[in-house]
Amino acid sequence: MLYLNNFAHAFLHALKNLLPIVVVVLFFQLAILQQLPENSLSMAFGLLVVAVGVALFLQGLELSIFPVGKSLSNQFAKKGSVPILLCFGFALGFSAVVAEPALIAVASQAQEISEGRIDALVLRLLVATSVGFIIALGVFRIIFGHPIHWYMIIGYIIVVGVTFFAPEEIVGLAYDSGGVTTNIVTVPLIAALGIGLASSIRGRSPLIDGFGLVALAVMVPMISVQLYGIFVYAIDADSASAQAVQSVELAVTHPVVQGLLDLLTMFRDVLPILITILFFQYIILKRPLSNPPKIAFGFLLVIIGLYAFVVGLKIGLFPIGNSMAEQLISLNSYAYIYLFAFMIGFATTMAEPALIAVGQQAEEAAAGKIKGNVIRLLVAVGVAVGITIGVFRLISGGSIHYFIIGGYTLVILLTMLCPKYIVALAFDLGGVTTSEVTVPLVTALGIGLATHIEGRNVLIDGFGLIAFASIFPIVTVMCYAIAVDWLNKFNRAES
Kindly report, residue by residue over 116-126, the tens digit of the pLDDT: 888 888 888 89
Residue 2 within any structural domain of the chain: yes
Q: In percent, how much of the chain has pLDDT > 70? A: 84
Would you state the pLDDT for residue 247?
39
Does 145 have pLDDT greater than 90? no
Confidence class for position 81, pLDDT limits 50, 70, 90: confident
Average pLDDT over residues 459-487: 86
Residue 248 within any structural domain of the chain: no
Residue 254 within any structural domain of the chain: no
Residue 383 · residue 472 · CB < 8 Å: yes
Q: How many residues are listed for the chain in this entry? A: 495
Distance from chain centroid for Cα 184: 8
Would you state the pLDDT for residue 353?
59
Residue 419 within any structural domain of the chain: yes
Does 251 have pLDDT greater than 60? no
Residue 245 within any structural domain of the chain: no
Structural domain for 335, as ranges: 1-233+259-488
C-alpha 452/C-alpha 28 separation (Å) is: 19
Residue 322 within any structural domain of the chain: yes
Which of 78-82, 235-239, 403-407, 484-488 is the least confident region?
235-239
Residue 244 within any structural domain of the chain: no
At a CB cut-off of 8 Å and minimum separation 6, what does 343 contact? 24, 27, 384
Which of 25-39, 222-236, 429-443 is the least confident region?
429-443
Would you state the pLDDT for residue 152?
82
Residue 425 · residue 360 · CB < 8 Å: no
C-alpha 303/C-alpha 306 separation (Å) is: 5
What CA dihedral angle connects 428, 400, 162 and 232, to 10 degrees? 110
- pLDDT winner (highest mean) among 8-22, 115-129, 249-263, 345-359: 115-129
3-state secondary structure of 453: coil
Confidence class for position 242, pLDDT limits 50, 70, 90: very low
Would you state the pLDDT for residue 384?
93
If one counts the domains in the chain, the total is: 1
Residue 19 within any structural domain of the chain: yes
Q: Could you report the per-residue pLDDT of 154-210, keeping only the tens digit for each?
A: 888 898 888 888 888 888 888 777 777 766 556 666 776 777 777 777 777 777 777
Residue 229 · residue 174 · CB < 8 Å: yes
Would you state the pLDDT for residue 475?
93
